[in-house]
A and B are shown apart, each in its own frame.
Chain A
Amino acid sequence: MKRAIAFILTGVLFFALAVPMGALAQKKVTFTLWTKEGEVTGGVLEDIVELSKEFAKSRPGLTIEVVSYGVEELRQNFQAAAFAGQGPDLLWTVSDHAGPFVAMKIIKPVDNIFGKDFLKEFVRPGLECVELDGKTWGVPISVGNHLMLLYNKNLLKTPPKNTDEMIKVGKELTRDLNKDGVPDQYGLVYNLNEPFFFAPWLGGFGGWPLDGTKPTLNTPAMVNALQFVHDLKFVHKIVPVECDYDAADALFKEGKAAMLINGDWSLTSYQTPEVRKKVDLGVARIPMVSQTGLWPTPMTSGIYFMLPDYLTGEKLQIAKEFVEFISSDKVQLRFLEKHMRLPATASALKNPKIASDPILKGSADQMVVGKPMPTVPEMRAAWDAIRPNQEAVMAGKMSPKNAAKAMQDACEKLIREMTK
């Protein structure tokens, strides 16, 4: 027995010494980057892995580990990790995460780390999205993330200028080809029940979910916008009875929908050789609302680097250098060319490629009339207040007027609880 104990203790000592000694000898650093890019965003994730390898070459012993999460997963996992005071060294995520992360005090302001001269290089709307309490909380990677009108030139030669025209061509293009009583080609498809896809219409009727941190949901603009999307389904019948993101995407890819509302992240997926057989992609602004003469205002945000609150020392230095590397014109243009992502720096945005490419031009043209998505945490309450009531209107179970009131009440209640 004694011999066994001695053996075990020696083993323990050996391991206890060997592990740190090994680490010292190799002087390795593992830097972890969490990104929201993944399967749905085409080849971006692969590109990030490639870029991080390229970057790591400049620092011997450095390994960058790229971990991909869904947007919501990333937020939750980072909250849990930051609560424990450890986790990723850098975040590559969407601007709306800034609100809660700032409230929870789990990310750092970037003003002092990068300096004014560096931040000056980025376009204003890009920085505005992550400015809270007079500080900047993220470094833009690409701006946009906005919805736009995509249309299939095989079915529709020119995009409609206003909503009256959109409804008119929509009716012509919603067809029951096999005469079974159900249309199998639609004028317009989009994620009908998702508040993010409703926001452009709300803006087009002159409304917006929040004024600062106060909900502004029970407004005539909201009632009219809800009535409008309701009528697209029940009166004009130019959208499918049920249509979520995947259904809209599939119908458009199969050439069974003339118009689609989708975001800049999806552009490359409609230009693969397979899809090109059925879709000749055109990009335009979402048509002007005839009733008001206003352009619909898709929410613009973007993709940002955010730095965890606990980041210090060498890791902070690596994070800084990596962010600078991705912000360089070379990498920004690579994202533009390969993934059709609009760059975040003013110099890269001037690139002639944007003006000469009809799809990028359409995307940039739409972004101009977009409105930055509110970054304040109260926006989460607004989303959740809009959703069930929008669903009720789209199921024909609630009048737009009652839905607008219910949204306002729900939002006020949710904000009260969140800030309690």
Chain B
Amino acid sequence: MIPLTWEIASRGLTEAGRILVMLAVGVAVIEALAYLILHKWLKLKNALPFMLMLPAFIAVVALVIYPFLFNLQLAFSNMSMYRFKEFSVGLSYGIQNFLDVFRAPVLQNVTFAQLLLRTVVWTAVNVFFHVLGGLFLAILLNRPLRGKAIYRTLLTIPWAIPQVIAALAWKNEFHYQYGFINVLLQKLGFAPVQWLSDPKWAFVAVIIVNIWLGIPFMMVIILGGLQSISPDYYDAAQIDGASGFQQFRAITMPLLKPVLTPAIILGVVWTFNNFNVIYLITKGGPMEGTDILVTSLYKAVFEFYRYGFGAAYSTVILIILLIFTWIYLKVTKGMGEVADA
């Protein structure tokens, strides 16, 4: 390994400093122009709020809206390896790309429908256990407990270590002969499992890892929610003779909803699009058995150079997530309460 010398560190800091200065200059230029146009020339009353929002707005356009529109353009293009720089854009290419998503296997054997079903199972199982595990641990941590800070720190470790490292460490733990899980299974008297060569078990393996990784986030969020519930409600309920479960159902759950709803939406979107865990542990294999929508998308684009198809495919995934979010918000009315609160 190349050691981190003072020279390398100072070069990195100079580079970072230069970028900061350039950003500051850029913002100053934009603000100066905005001041001249909005305040001096157009004499707008609300010039100041517009000026304050402008840098963030430009950043959103550059980093979100422009790439999104470019992706849409690619979805209607024939861009591929042989047409990398000189691709053409047209409605017929777009129709072809979108039809291709549904009518042929996306990779070699798995079709879009199979991948979608698998992604839904992957997301539902993961988020269910994230919430369940997070809720359980958060309730435990919300009680008077000796050494609470230590437990809390230990429990957030999976979230704190980089996913890449966690995933690769887990990959080794699933090794048939030397992995911890099979060693444990054998000690308990079970037969060892071919975690990484059997597609069914490989899918279970990646789900286990992702559950482990995702619980701490939910735990932290739910714990925050629990701590914001006034103890008065519980006191009153106890006086009325409510049992622990009744208190949980009638006080804890409803009051947690404003916190849980956005957390679940985030959890679903993240899990639905979770690429790291699967790609690092199984690369979608064996036999495409652990590929979900995003990993197959990645392969189509970066291994087979199907840029036009990939852009259309990613748009389809985005639409699925938008529909989910919309329905979820309708059903739970979760965000409404956040806004009202």
Contacts and interface: CB of A to CB of B under 8 A. Distances in A.
B25 A16 contact: yes
Contacts of A193: 197, 285-286
B90 to A, nearest CB: 14
Given A16-B25, A76-B302, A388-B286, A418 B80 contact: yes
A114 interface: no
Interface residues of B, number: 39
Contact of A246 (B32, B82, B172, B195): B172
Given A103-B84, A105-B84, A105-B85, A242 B28 contact: no
A379 B285 CA distance: 19
A39 B1 contact: yes
B176 interface: yes
Given A5-B35, A100-B81, A182 B25 contact: no
A242 B197 contact: yes
B152 interface: no
Contact of B25 (A12, A105, A247, A413): A12
Contacts of A83: 84-85
B253 to A, nearest CB: 44
Interface stretch (B257-265, B303-311, B332-340): B303-311
Interface of A: 5, 8-9, 11-12, 15-16, 39, 45-46, 49, 76, 79, 83, 100, 103-106, 182, 193, 240-242, 244, 246-247, 377, 380-381, 384-385, 387-389, 391-392, 394-395, 397, 410, 413-414, 417-420
Contacts of B305: 100, 104, 377, 418
A247 B195 CA distance: 14
26 contacts: A12-B28, A79-B84, A100-B305, A103-B82, A104-B82, A104-B85, A105-B85, A182-B177, A193-B285, A241-B194, A242-B176, A242-B194, A377-B81, A377-B305, A388-B286, A388-B287, A391-B287, A392-B286, A392-B287, A395-B197, A410-B108, A413-B105, A414-B108, A419-B80, A419-B81, A420-B78
Most A-side CB within 10 Å, residue of B2, B31, B172: B2
User: Closest 5 A-B residue pairs measured CB to CB?
Assistant: A242-B176, A104-B84, A391-B286, A410-B108, A388-B287
Given A9-B32, A100-B81, A394 B306 contact: no
Given A83-B85, A388-B286, A240 B306 contact: no
B235 interface: no
B178 A395 contact: no
Given A8-B31, A418-B305, A388 B285 contact: yes
B81 A104 contact: yes
Contact of A420 (B80, B177, B178, B299): B80
B304 A380 contact: yes
By secondary structure, the B interface counts as loop
A397 B287 contact: yes
Given A417-B309, A420-B78, 7 more contacts: A8-B31, A11-B28, A49-B2, A104-B85, A241-B194, A246-B172, A418-B81
A413 B85 contact: no
B330 to A, nearest CB: 38
Interface string B3-26: 000000000000000000100010
B81 A103 contact: yes
A46 B3 CA distance: 10
A377 B304 CA distance: 9
Contacts of B287: 388-389, 391-392, 395, 397
Interface in B49-65: none
A391 B197 contact: yes
B288 interface: yes
A242 B29 CA distance: 60
Contact of B286 (A79, A384, A395): A395
B118 interface: no
Contacts of B127: none
